[in-house]
Amino acid sequence: MPTVGKPEWFDRDIIQDPVREVDIEALKRVQRVLHCEPTGTMDDITRMHIRGMQKMFRLRVHGAVDQATAEVIDKLRPGGSFGEDTE
């Protein structure tokens, strides 16, 4: 899958529960796109959904949000190149 660049909302890899507000908001965005409860914490359900998405898009499966994962998430969101435009 070609790299299209880092999404503006993605600042750095999210591996565990984020501390900075910008990372919490980024994780909530990921959770909303993957239809998880947007808690801002890296819980087991969120990791499971991230791993499933990574497997489906043939990314490295690790359950964290890295740049490659963030790029796919950005495309899956409503209005993204994979998602429907809801507006």
The pLDDT, as a whole number, for residue 12 is: 84
Domain 1-87 CATH (choose: 3.40.50.2300, 3.40.50.300, 1.10.101.10, 1.10.645.10): 1.10.101.10
> If you average pLDDT over residues 13-31, what whole number do you get?
89
pLDDT for 83: 55
Asked if 73 contacts 61 with a C-beta cutoff of 8 angstroms, the reply is no
What per-residue confidence (pLDDT) applies to 40? Answer: 94
pLDDT digits (tens, 9 = 90+) for 37-69: 999 999 999 999 999 999 999 999 999 999 999
What are the tokens at 41?
């914490």
pLDDT in tens, 70-86: 999 999 887 776 655 44
With tokens 């990314």, the residue in question is 59
User: Contact 48/64 with Cβ under 8 angstroms?
Assistant: no
- Domain positions in the chain are 1-87
Beta strands per DSSP E along the chain: none
